[in-house]
Structure 1
């Protein structure tokens, strides 16, 4: 497997360096369209309604409300709080049963990316012992996303979550109809369930359609029923984002400081995107030590004093006294551009 990107888990004042991998993949046979007459590959061109073929670089996005269309340029998007952080921020811990599986999206494996994986193991063991999920916020493809951290065997798993307003309510009139189920019917139904009950083993189930489709393709190839066409798919390079992580120097001190901060009510309010008054910035290594640039998020909460954050290399720092921000801040040093998730 090749990593999608590397970053860190912000766990209180402890940073856990990690690499992110896609945990799932499709087994569907890849097919494309061809012209029935000459077997030429069908390709799609970007053509506007006025008949002009358009280069990808000349395409802009627009919103249509049904009557009017608003065109959004690249400069317009630069004004938005575009998220590019590779930090997975832990917001809170909740009981496992309180997160409905309906909200789960794609899953990712998190690998420790440090010469000393102690912080990773500590977080993994804590999640397992407390039987809780860590609600986190992370950024993927320029969008702020909600997710959970949970333990899968010996690996911490990141699973994306739908936002609350993305889950539709089941409002069906048929559910309002009064139906009486007899005791005998319920008993027989329960007996059937008992007779079919077993432990779940996903390896017992196979996709018969895809297997037979592959057999059909292999048979056609073996019989010579094929055409000589040019290669239709090129190999795409994936971003390995290799790098070395650092050691966790003073894990207990960072944990103790995190607990003290929570007890004294140090955490600020969060908006829907999960932003907090004390922000984390993935470019802290390149920013001045005394001032961390405020995260560009949609939260309207008042800006509070920034704090020195733990190094993304895995080291931890003690909380410093808050300093009043000067009237005019010197522009922060721009962080090097980072590759985004593919």
Structure 2
């Protein structure tokens, strides 16, 4: 079992005059196969070099820092100590600004999740209170938090008796969809059949679903080395008769033993 062990942030959650010390731990981890970059002609590994444009030489990572480009193009060099001195109250405090229904949050804004754990004995009781209260009112707290020198909007809610701090995109970071929606309507029969099919397919356990990318990549590599050919996945075709396609889908779902959840 992969359990987070190293805190990435230490501070306080405050709501009203109640404060509780917490630590944040990453709730997710990267998963997948990493591919190396190579020269296409001979397969030799490619290196990325950091070159100073003024001195035309490669610089060590320890020589590199950040800079802010002003509107007139001037670069203001910022050391790590400068960034740590950013005058943001949310650097060490997750300041709750209000509470909203959990289902009122827009999933498009979800960014990254962290587990918040009580830090020290003083945080135990107020932490338990916040978990119980959020569970009772079925709401999430909305706050701001600074992670790695960048301030983020965040939602805080209970999950398995643990507070989850979910960073959110700022509203201005979310694009409007424009006119991407379908321009056609559906019939009552199509809607009824689609609803029945969804009910048949509602019994799904996410734990049974796995990432097949690694296995597919191994098949690809084996085929490349042996000179073999890979079967091409079949692509779906648009349903000409939508009600007929729905009825056939229902029959197949029933044949697989799926029952409405």
Both proteins in one fold, TM over 0.5: yes
Q: Deviations over 1:142-178 (max 9, x none)?
A: 1111101001111100000111111111102x5373x
Among 181, 187, 206, the residue aligned to 2:186: 181
Unaligned residue ranges in structure 1 (runs of 5+): 220-342
Q: Does 1:149 pair with 2:156?
A: yes
SS at match of 1:180: coil
Which SS does the other structure have where 1:102 is aligned? helix
- The alignment partner of 1:43 has SS state of coil
Aligned residue number for residue 17 of structure 1: 21
Instruction: Give deviations 1:113-164, integer Å, cap 9, x for gaps.
Output: 1225111000000000001110011110111111010011111000001111
Contact residue 136 and residue 146 of structure 1 kept, 8 A: yes
Q: Which protein is richer in strand relative to its size? A: 2
SS at match of 1:3: coil
Describe the SS at the equivalent of 2:57. Answer: coil
Distance 1:59 1:12, change over 3 A: closer
Structure 2 unmatched runs, 5+? 223-261
Alpha-carbon spacing, 1:37–1:183, altered in 2? closer, same or farther (3 Å): closer
Aligned CA-pair RMSD: 3.1
Shift of 1:106: 0.3
- Residues 32 and 213 in structure 2, CA contact (< 8 A), matched pair in contact too: no
> Looking at both structures, which has the greater relative contact order when contacts are Cα pairs under 8 Å and sequence separation is at least 6?
1
On the 8 A contact 1:35/1:42 being kept in 2, the answer is: yes
Counterpart CA distance in 1 for 2:105 and 2:162 is: 20
Relative to its length, the structure with more helix (as a share) is 2
Instruction: Report if the CA contact (8 A) 2:6-2:25 is conserved.
Output: yes
Q: Residue 137 of structure 2 is aligned with which of 121, 127, 130?
A: 130
Q: How many residues matched?
A: 212
Under a length normalisation based on structure 1, what TM-score does the superposition of the two structures give? 0.54
Do 1:82 and 1:142's aligned partners in 2 also have CA atoms closer than 8 Å?
Answer: no
2:97 aligned counterpart, secondary structure? strand
1:102 to 108, 116, 141: 108
The DSSP-based 3-state class of the residue aligned with 1:69 is coil
